[in-house]
Structure 1
Amino acid sequence: MYKKISYLFTSCLLAMMVTGCASQANKDPLESVNRGIYKFNDVADKAVLKPVATAYKNVAPTPVRLGVNNFFSNLGTLTNVLNNLLQFKFANAFSEAGRFVINSTFGIAGFIDVAGMDKVPVHKEDFGQTLGYWGVGPGAYLVLPIAGPSSVRDATGWFVDLSTTDPITYTHNIGQVRLHNQLRAAQFIDKRTELLDAKDLVDDASLDPYAFMRDAYLQRRASLVQDGLVPSELIKDEFFEDEKENKDAK
C-alpha cells in the first residue's frame, strides 16, 4: 500500500512539472510528430482494427456484445471508485462501489448491468481527471500509437490507472500472461466496435480529421474535469480557424 501511495504521489509531481512546461498558447507543440502517429494509427485502423471490429459486430449477436461491454465497464468501476475518493466525491465513490458489488454478484461478473436497470447513475472518473481536479493542466496534446488522442496529463493518468486499479493488469502480475493478453485484446476490440460509427463521422464531416479529433478531445476532457463545464477559451478553439484557412486555400 505504501509503495502504491508513493507511486501516485510521484506521478502527480511528474505530471505537474511536465504540464507546467507546456505553453498554454500552443496546445499542440508536437503537432508534426502527432500527425505522423495519427497517420500511422489511421492506416493500422483501416487495415486491421476496423475490419476486425466490423467482423465482430457482424458475427456476435447484440446480447453477446452488450454483455462483453458490460463486463469491461464493470472492471472499470474500481478505477471510478478510487478516483472519486481522490476527488473527495465520497457519495459518488460509494455509489460506484455499490454498482460494482451488485453487478459482480447479481449481474454474473458484470455481464448484466443490474445496477443500470435499477437506474443507478454512473460516475466515471480516471486519474487524468483527478490530476485536473487538483489543478494540473493538460499539457501538450499527444497522439499515442494505437491508443489515439491523449495529453501529457491524461497519458500519465492512464498509466497510473492501468498500474493500480485495472484488474486485467493484475492477471499479468500473477503470471497469467496469456489470460491478460486475451482480455486486453477483447477489451480493445469491444472499445473499437463502440467507435465504428463515430470514426466514420469524423472522417466524412471534417476537412482536417486530425484537427477535429484534437479539439474535440481537448474540449471533452476539459468538460469532464470540470463536471460538464467547458472553459470559454477552449470553446473558441483553433479548429474553425483551421477549417476556414483550408477552405480559403482551395
Structure 2
Amino acid sequence: MRLACLRWTSAVMLVLATQVASAYEPVSYDDPLEPMNRKIFHFNEKMDQWILDPAARGYDKVTPEPIQGLVTSFFQNLGEVRNLVNAVLQLRIGDAAATSGRFVINSTIGMLGMLDVATELGIERRYQDFGLTLARWHVPSGPYVVLPFYGPRTARSTVGFVPDLELNPTNTLEWWSPEFMAIHTLDILDTRNRLRGAEGLIVGDKYIFIRDAYLQSRQFMITGEVPEDDF
C-alpha cells in the first residue's frame, strides 16, 4: 500500500512538473496606461538625474573595482534565497538543487557570498522571481506599468515584487535601523552603478526603448526564446 502511494505521488509530481515546465502565460505588450506611465517615468528620470546617478558616480569613484565586485557578489548571493523558493514553487527541481548548492558554497567558501566560487565550479546562477512563478501558474501578465522609484514592471511582476521583497534576508533587520538603511543604500548604489554601462545602448524614445527591452527580457526569462527584435 505504501509503495503504491509512493508511486502515485511520484506520478502526480511528474505530471505537475511537466505541465509547469512546458506551459506559461506570456508577457503582454499592451500599454494602455502609457500617459500615466510616462509621467512616472519622467519623475523617476528626474530623481535619477538629481540624486541617484550622482551618488552612483561618487560610489564608483571612491570604491575600487575589486571591492565593487565583492559587493555585487554579496547581494547576488542574498538573491539566491528568492531564486530557490521560486524554483521550488515552479517544480524546477534541477534549478532548485543548483541554487541550493550555489548558496551553500558561496556563503561558506565564498566568504558570505562576496566571492562567487560556485560559478568558478561550473554551477551557474539560475535567476527566478515570483512574477515568473505566477507566469508558470498561468496568471495573466496584465498591462505594462512604471512604478515610482522601482521603474518598469508588468501588473503580474508588480504583484510578485511583494513576496520577493519578503524573501530578502536583509528584511530580517529592523526597518529604518542604521544597518538596514546602510545595506539597502549600498545595494541601490551598486545596482545603479552597474547599469551605467548600458546607458549608451539606448536610442530613440527612451521610454519606448526601456519598455520594449524590459518586456522582451521578461518574455525570454519565461520562454527561453530570443525575440526577433533583440535588445
**1:1-250 matched pairs, under 5 angstroms:** 27-163=30-166, 165-172=167-174, 177-202=177-202, 205-206=203-204, 208-226=205-223, 228-229=224-225
User: For residues 45 and 197 of structure 1, what CA distance do their matches in structure 2 show?
Assistant: 15
User: For residues 192 and 76 of structure 1, what CA distance do their matches in structure 2 show?
Assistant: 17
Instruction: Give the superposition deviation at 1:215.
Output: 1.0
User: For residues 41 and 199 of structure 2, what CA distance do their matches in structure 1 show?
Assistant: 13
TM-score by length of 2: 0.83
Deviation string 1:17-69 (CA, Å, 9 cap, x unpaired) is: xxx9xxx6x71111111000100111111111111111111221111000000
User: For residues 100 and 109 of structure 1, what CA distance do their matches in structure 2 show?
Assistant: 9
Instruction: Give the superposition deviation at 1:183.
Output: 1.0
Query: Which runs of 5 or more structure 2 residues have no equivalent in the other structure?
Result: 1-24
Give the letter aligned to residue 229 of structure 1.
E
Instruction: Give the superposition deviation at 1:72.
Output: 0.2
Instruction: Report how many residues are paired.
Output: 204
User: For residues 98 and 65 of structure 1, what CA distance do their matches in structure 2 show?
Assistant: 24
User: For residues 53 and 86 of structure 1, what CA distance do their matches in structure 2 show?
Assistant: 35
Question: Contact 1:130 / 1:225 at 8 angstroms: preserved in 2?
Answer: no
Give the SS at the match of 1:115.
helix
Give the SS at the match of 1:195.
helix
- Go from structure 1 to structure 2 and tell me whether the alpha carbon gap of 1:219 and 1:92 turns closer, same or farther (over 3 Å shift): same
Give the letter aligned to residue 87 of structure 2.
N
Deviation string 1:101-127 (CA, Å, 9 cap, x unpaired) is: 111111111111111121211111000
Higher relative contact order (CA 8 A, sep 6+): 2
Instruction: Give the superposition deviation at 1:200.
Output: 3.8
CA RMSD of aligned residues (A): 1.9
Instruction: Give the superposition deviation at 1:176.
Output: 7.2
Query: Which runs of 5 or more structure 1 residues have no equivalent in the other structure?
Result: 1-19, 237-250
Q: Share of identical aligned residues, percent?
A: 38
User: For residues 186 and 84 of structure 1, what CA distance do their matches in structure 2 show?
Assistant: 27
Give the letter aligned to residue 170 of structure 1.
T
Give the SS at the match of 1:32.
helix
